[in-house]
Chain A
Amino acid sequence: MEAKEIFKKLQDQFGEAVQELNDEVMQPYIKIAPDKTNEIAQFLRDEEDLQFDYLMCLSGLDLGENLGVVYHLYSMKLKHKIVLKTEVSKEKPDVHTVANIWRTADWHEREAYDLLGINFVNHPDLRRILLPDDWEGHPLRKDYKPQKSWHGIPVTLDSEEEENDAVEQ
């Protein structure tokens, strides 16, 4: 099924929650509302002529002012693909989870939470996955400043840089 038809079908079902379609890029994407991701995902997976049963990838990214989540979907049975995108503000980064639709999203969402601080509403077990539980901040944000030390282990080389600066002056 082509991106246009999928977009049409989603719009008929969800109305304004399905915001726009961009099919001029290499891989067409559909933009959706962050608080409707769960319902839309359910629809995409269960509808007879869509059957997106395979979540290839779920990525979080920092768009500057906002945070984004990108879903790459594939249908094993019908062999078609679609990309979904959603955007949330950094102040209130709430996206509804899809971990109950595709179980593989569980860890991917934890990763996006860990590295970008995106809050997945209704996620069954939202905690850090790659970094230690008591780490500060979310490293993949563009404005991330690492902490000085972690449990007495130096993390940054700031002190060295300061020393170098002092020597140069």
Chain B
Amino acid sequence: MTQWNNNFPDSRFELEVPDPLKTDEYVLNMGPQHPSTHGVLRVVLKTDGEIVESATPYIGYLHRTFEKHAEHMTWPQVVPYVDRMDYLASMNNALGYALAVEKLAGIEVNERAQYLRVIVAELNRIASHLVFFGTFGLDLGAFTPFLYGFREREMILDLFEEISGGRLLYNYIWIGGVAWDAPDGWLEKVIKFCDYFEPKIKEYNDLLTFNKIFIDRTAGIGVIPEDLAINYGLSGPTLRGSGVNFDLRKNDPYGIYDRFNFNVCVGDGTRGVVGDSWNRYWVRILEMVESTKIVRQAVEQIPDGDAKETVPKNVRVPAGEIYFRTETPRGELGYYIVSDGGKNPVRVKVRAPAFSNLSVLPAVAPGTMVADLVAILGSLDIVLGEIDR
């Protein structure tokens, strides 16, 4: 410690400086209302200057006791509720629930309905990843990608509006089939969208993916090693960003996903290191291409038929229980459903992918800058509606 009074002319001004200088950590409340928390999430940060010492998420601001509600609903009535969990990928949520109940009740689903389900689920995956692409750029100060992403997402929402009547919450996938068959010319419009969409990926890459500022902000930030990712139960692109080749559509196939050719995209360290924020982002960009491939194949193979043929008038579920998991844009969505043979479920427990994905934050946050925490949080792609349920 330098002495204050060495060259000072008047010793009356000599100050007593405690040695060592006492410093305190600073507690910072990020959220609940904060644009980068994607909903209402509160993270309490303990910081040492700009460096985060610990981050503790506080969740529950969007809690609507979905699981309690479900116990008082009949089996089909639960579908609109699951739509409202991950509101950016309602189709995928409903698909998981419908498949779980069908498996438990032994309901066969019409072929055409199965293909329609895959088409809407994959389109919803693209739409969800586009929101991620836009908001992730926005978190890091890039405004333009947001407009680009939402431009294309709008087209998907138009397609959804035409087939289901809804733009965000669809209630389209029902137990035993779908709510409506596709209107005339809808499938051609889907192909038209694919033709339009595929070249746009290059635009995204030019604009954001390989942008030097973007890479500097994300590469090497928030590295989650493979074993940590598995131990924390991460799933989806967040897990694959850490280099784990695991996708439920391939590794634990459900529905008719085994009929399509597509690749599982894994973080490969093209920029940065495997497991960092950039690689999690990169996995999602690659996945959009793969989803378009699946959509194209599904439209090509879709048979004629009555998509509503197998929707039962009364859903009867025998006593039993099942844990069924599907791959949503955010990862492994699991439904643990218990039935006693009655007209409503005894228990519907949802294993939300974003719930587990967010729980890793306290493990990766220490030692990062506050601004980098925003990048990490964005790259986890959380939806609070699903975490809080």
A→B interface (CB under 8 Å): 25-27, 53-57, 59-62, 70, 72, 76, 79, 83, 102-104, 106-107, 115, 128-132, 139-140, 144
Contact = CB atoms under 8 A, between A and B. Distances in A.
Interface string B318-350: 001111010000001010101000000011010
Contact of B231 (A53, A59, A107): A53
Interface of B: 59-60, 63, 65, 67-68, 103-104, 230-233, 244, 246, 251, 320-323, 325, 332, 334, 336, 338, 346-347, 349, 351, 355-356, 359-360, 363, 388-389
A54 B230 contact: yes
Contacts of B388: 130
Given A72-B323, A104-B232, A130 B63 contact: yes
B351 A56 contact: yes
Contacts of A129: 59-60
A106 B359 CA distance: 8
Given A104-B231, A130-B59, A130-B60, A70 B320 contact: no
Given A76-B230, A79-B251, A130-B60, 16 more contacts: A25-B321, A26-B104, A26-B321, A53-B230, A56-B334, A56-B351, A61-B338, A61-B346, A61-B349, A62-B347, A106-B359, A107-B356, A128-B60, A130-B388, A131-B63, A139-B65
Contacts of A83: 323
Secondary structure class of chain B's binding surface, majority of residues: mixed
A117 to B, nearest CB: 14
Nearest to A132: B60
Which of B63, B321, B349, B356 has the largest count of A CB atoms less than 10 A from its CB? B349
Nearest to B65: A139
A68 B347 CA distance: 12
A132 B42 CA distance: 13
Contacts of B67: 115, 140
